[in-house]
Each structure stands twice: as structure tokens, then as C-alpha cells.
Amino acid sequence: MRFPQHRGLLSAALTMTLLGVAAPSAAGASLADRDGDKVFDDLERRLAHIDDSEAVAVIVILRAPATAERVHDLAVDAGGFETTARFSIVDGFAARMTRAEVRAISRNATVAHVELDLPVHASNNTAQDSFGVTKARIDGGFDGDADGSAATYSKDDLVAGARRSAPSSTSSS
Ligand SMILES: [Ca+2]
């Protein structure tokens, strides 16, 4: 499934929530459609610098499920672009489109927006304050201080950690 390798405002937010994926490396102003034409700013910049016949990888987010029939009809209406993946977690699909195809599909009422299809990078840093030792320390107010000096560490201070145990063997030999 190609979904985790794509980015975009909606898809990235959902991906981060479900899979612990961090914000795209190029996050920021690019993940916006400031002129409201349903084509993200970074895609518009890219389209401005390609030939009419060149296709770019895009993600199209729909306002309805990306059924095979719906995506096929959108492709026919917009000029016959190549669809590379359909998504079920979000209503959308990936495709390769020319500038004219992007403009055509963005005018369709079923389309929420069109964005560049670029890589994202996995990270698990954001969960540290929500689970495990850090969460327990925050909720319980534990600072590990047992020697009377919270600003320093000594052999008398307390240390907590988490260890993942190997599954017990079920061998019957
Ligand atoms: Ca735009």
C-alpha cells in the first residue's frame, strides 16, 4: 500500500494519527491552498516549471469514496491521466497528471484538493509524552529525586525504565 509514502494536509494528519508518522520534511507553507483553487501551493509552483506534456505525481483528495468507477470517470473527464493507487483510509487516490489534467480535475465538485505526492519520514518521537515512562512521570509527578537535590543525579536517586520482554517459548521439546 502506498499510503504512508504520500503527504498532504489531510493524508499526513491522518497518517500521523494512525501510524505515528511525523510531519513531512518540507512541511509549512507548501501544505496550503492560499488562493482557494483546490491546487496546493507547492504543486502550483511545480506545475509552473514543467512542460505541457510532463506529468507529475499527485494525490487527489475527494469528497466521496475513491471507488474504481468514480476514479475512472474523473480520469476520463480530466483527460485520461494514469492512476497509480486508490486509498480506502482517506477518500482519495494517487495519479500522474499533466498541468492541464490537474486544472481540469480541480474544477470537479467531487474533488476536495490536489497536492504533490512526496515522501514523508516515519518518526515515533511524538508518543513519548503520551505513553510509557514519560507519561507515568508526568501524571504521577515523579522526578526520581531521592537524595534531596532534584537538579542533580546521584546513586541515591531513583531511575525507572521500560523493557520489552521476549515472548515466552511455547516449545514442547
Ligand atoms: Ca492553489
**How far does residue 59's CA lie from ligand 1's centre (Å)?**
14
Please give the distance, rounded to the nearest whole angstrom, from the Cα atom of residue 112 to the centre of ligand 1: 12
For residue 119, how far is its CA from the centre of ligand 1 (angstroms)?
Answer: 20
What's this model's pTM, rounded to 2 decimal places? 0.59
120, 118, 93: which is closest to 19 by C-alpha? 120
What pLDDT score does 82 carry?
Answer: 94
Over residues 89-104, the pLDDT tens digits come to 999 999 999 999 999 9
- Tens-digit pLDDT profile for residues 48-79: 999 999 999 999 999 999 999 999 999 999 99
Phi-psi region of 142 (alpha: psi -120 to 50; beta: other; left: phi over 0): beta
DSSP state of 105: H
Instruction: Determine the distance separating the centroid of ligand 1 and the alpha carbon of 116, expressed in angstroms.
Output: 12
Distance 36 CA to ligand 1 centre (A): 5
For each of the chain's 173 residues, which pLDDT tens digit applies? 344 444 444 444 444 434 444 444 444 446 899 999 999 999 999 999 999 999 999 999 999 999 999 999 999 999 999 999 999 999 999 999 999 999 999 999 999 999 999 887 777 666 666 766 677 777 777 777 888 888 788 888 877 666 666 666 555 44
The span from the CA of 23 to the CA of 3, in Å, is 14
Amino acid type, 5? Q
CA 114 to ligand 1 centroid distance, Å = 9
Three-state DSSP state, 92:
strand
Classify 71 as helix, strand or coil. Answer: helix
CA of 73 to the centre of ligand 1 (A): 23
Main-chain dihedrals φ then ψ at residue 80, nearest 5 degrees: 90, 35
DSSP 144: -
**How far, in Å, from the CA of 100 to the mean position of ligand 1?**
14
CATH of domain 3-116: 3.30.70.80
